[in-house]
């Protein structure tokens, strides 16, 4: 069953990394240190959402 906290506990280990999620955002499909590397790793790009995971210990004001 999907649990936001479970995903967040996984994502906390992926701070400062690029992550590919399934389209429903319930599953982490792949990860890499740069967007370029992540795009190389992903074979089937359709139906994925890619996101940069911000550092968890600070606020974001881009």
Partner 1 sequence: MKDVTFYYVPDPGIDKATRKVVEILRPKIPVRLSAHHNMSKILVDCLFDTGSDRNLFPADWGRSVGLRIDRGKEVKIGGIGGKEITAFTHQIVLFVQGNKIITEADFSEEQTTPLLGRIGFMDKVSEVIVNQRKKFIQIIF
Q: Could you say whether residue 61 binds partner 1 (CB under 8 A)?
A: yes
Q: Could you say whether residue 36 binds partner 1 (CB under 8 A)?
A: yes
Q: Which of 29, 3, 41, 33 is nearest to 15 (CA)?
A: 33
Of 27 and 52, the one with the shorter C-beta distance to partner 1 is: 52
Quote the CA–CA distance of 3 and 12 in Å, as a whole number: 14
Q: Could you say whether residue 7 binds partner 1 (CB under 8 A)?
A: yes
As a whole number of angstroms, the longest Cα–Cα distance in the chain is: 34
* Residue 11 parent element (H or E): helix 4-11
Q: Which residues bind partner 1 (CB under 8 A)?
A: 4-5, 7-9, 11-12, 15, 20, 23, 25, 34-36, 39, 42, 45-46, 48-54, 56-57, 60-62
């Amino acid at each position: 069953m999907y649990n936001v906290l479970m995903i967040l506990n996984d994502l906390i280990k992926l701070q400062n990394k690029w992550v590919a999620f399934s389209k429903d955002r319930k599953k982490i499909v792949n990860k890499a240190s740069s967007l370029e590397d992540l795009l190389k790793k992903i074979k089937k790009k359709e139906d994925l959402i890619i996101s940069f995971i911000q550092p968890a210990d600070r606020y974001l004001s881009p």
